Amino acid sequence: MSDGQNLVTEDVTVVEGDVATISCRVKNSDDSVIQLLNPNRQTIYFRDFRPLKDSRFQLVNFSNSELRVSLTNVSISDEGRYFCQLYTDPPQEIYTTITVLVPPRNLVIDIQKEIAVEGEEIELNCTAMASRPATTIRWFKGNKELTGKSEVEQWSDMYTVTSQLLLKVGREDDGVPVICLVDHPAVKDLQTQRYLEVMYKPQVRVSQNYPVQGLTREGEPLELTCAAFGKPQPTDMRWLRVDDEMPQHVVVSGSNLLISNLNKTDNGTYRCEASNAVGKSHADYMLFVYDSRAGEEGAIRSVDHAVVGGVVAVVVFAMLCLLIILGRYFARHKGTYFTHEAKGADDAADADTAIINAEGGQNNSEEKKEYFI
């Protein structure tokens, strides 16, 4: 924008194809003539008259203080300086600049390999064509933003931007979208995406169906199941015994392994292998067969220990009770002895009399004892 002595206007930024509005305003009007000129200094409007034949220019408002004109279906060729003139003495002139934004005409992701294998590094390229100004490209894998490397090419007044992303893929990336998003002042929420397709070798897991819990003991059955998941889905699955031959009485049915009557010769490591077009994986199960009474003997020992502990507790309690009863009994008889010994001594006038009385009491007690006998 340029300021004249008595004129006001503003620069205009518009997206290609939209409408631009140019306003020439007079701060202190004195009824002087206002006119608008294009970048080639051709008169668009003189007061409210349009000498220019371009019908895309339309009068929006005319008064002594303002000339406002709209330009529809703006193109890049319309970009430049437009002049507001006020016929005073001397004449006054200011200019406004129209800037035209062009959004990317196309947004495309090219992927180096449509189907990748886990562990590989793949290349993705996102191209935003023919924009103005140049586009900023951002990458996302799911919700996580990634960093790419961009190159800008200029063709005339237009820019083409290509961003390269190098991505090492794993099995967790299968089915995850990779998004190319555009930051540009002329457009919002412009993005495109591609879903990753990643192949990976099987994941194998062995589970024990029977016995559900507890020990694997002689004479009892054992049932194992092998589960394998991969992309593509595993087509070949087999059981084997590591470092030894598979016992003849072992029954293998698809993903299941069954031993109906365990014995100690079955001890060892049993392996389930699964493979697909990507590779082979396995899971191991270590079998140890216990004696048939291994669990029962432990239970019996536990019961015996509990019984012995209970008996000991009862005996200790009985002994404590007996000690308490005997203590009380002896304490009571000792009190009676002292009472008899002192009988008659309390009423004596002197020590000799007390002794005589005490002896007399003893004699009396002996006499009473003989009398009762």
Per-residue confidence (pLDDT) for residue 173, from 0 to 100 = 97
> Which amino acid appears at position 141 of this protein?
K
Structurally, what CATH architecture does the domain formed by 106-189 represent?
Sandwich (2.60)
- Average pLDDT (192-196) is 96
Of residues 81 and 349, more confidently modeled:
81
Query: Are 179 and 139 spatial neighbours (Cβ–Cβ below 8 Å)?
Result: yes
Q: Helices 294-342 and 351-372 sit at what angle, rounded to 10 degrees?
A: 120
Is residue 216 pLDDT above 70, yes or no?
A: yes
Task: Tell me: pLDDT of 222 over 70.
Answer: yes
Cβ burial of 257 (10 Å; 0-12, 13-18, 19+) is: buried
Mean pLDDT of 178-189: 96
Give backbone dihedrals phi and psi of 211, rounded to 5 degrees, phi first.
Answer: -65, 145
Q: Are strands 198-210 and 116-117 parallel, antiparallel or unpaired?
A: parallel
Cite the beta strand spans of 50-195 per DSSP E.
Answer: 57-62, 66-71, 80-86, 92-101, 106-111, 116-117, 121-131, 136-141, 144-146, 149-155, 158-168, 177-184, 187-195
Tell me: domain 7-101, CATH 2.60.40.10, correct? yes
Domain boundaries, the chain: 7-101, 106-189, 201-287
Using one digit for the tens of pLDDT, what is the confidence trace for 277-300? Answer: 999 999 999 999 999 876 655 444
Residue 121's nearest CA partner among 161, 162, 173 is 173
Task: Give the pLDDT score at 328.
Answer: 74
Which pLDDT band, with edges at 50, 70 and 90, does 334 fall under? low
Residue 304, pLDDT score: 55
Q: Which residues pair with 61 in a beta bridge?
A: 68
pLDDT(212) > 90: no
Residue labelled with tokens 């049932």: 223
> What is the distance between the alpha carbons of residues 68 and 45, in angstroms, rounded to a whole number?
10
Number of C-beta neighbours around residue 104 at 10 A:
24
What CATH number has the domain spanning 201-287?
2.60.40.10
Mention every residue, 6+ apart, whose C-beta is less than 8 A from residue 357: 344, 345, 347, 348
Q: Name beta bridge partners: 128.
A: 107, 161
Residues 127-154: pLDDT tens digits?
Answer: 999 999 999 999 999 999 999 999 999 9
104 close to 15: Cβ distance less than 8 angstroms: no
Res 319: pLDDT: 85
Nearest alpha carbon to residue 135 among 110, 111, 115, 152: 152
Give the model's pLDDT for residue 326.
78
Q: What is the pLDDT of residue 89?
A: 84
Task: Please tell me the predicted confidence (pLDDT) of residue 316.
Answer: 79
The CA angle 351-357-358, to the nearest 5 degrees, is: 90
Burial of 56 (C-beta count, 10 Å sphere; 0-12/13-18/19+): middle
Coil vs helix vs strand at 62: strand
pLDDT reported for residue 308: 62
pLDDT higher at 350 or 154: 154
pLDDT for the residue numbered 307: 60
pTM: 0.69
User: What are residue 298's phi and psi, to 5 degrees?
Assistant: -65, -40
Q: To the nearest whole number, what is the mean pLDDT of the chain?
A: 86
The token pair that represents 111 in the structure block: 């992927």
Per-residue pLDDT, 338: 43
Q: Is the pLDDT of residue 233 over 70?
A: yes
Are the C-beta atoms of 289 and 216 separated by less than 8 Å?
yes
Residue 187 and residue 103 in contact, taking contact as beta carbons nearer than 8 Å: yes
Q: Judge whether residue 95 has pLDDT over 90.
A: yes
At residue 181, the pLDDT reads: 97
Please tell me the least confidently modeled range out of 46-55, 212-221, 281-290: 212-221
CA end-to-end distance (rounded Å), the chain? 147
Is there a shared CATH topology between the 7-101 domain and the 106-189 domain? Answer: yes
Look at residue 367 and tell me whether its pLDDT is greater than 60.
no
Closest CA to 100 of 121, 82, 76: 76
Specify burial of residue 121 (Cβ count, 10 A radius: 0-12, 13-18, 19+): exposed
Residue 207 has pLDDT above 70, yes or no: yes
Phi and psi at residue 332, to the nearest 5°:
-70, -45
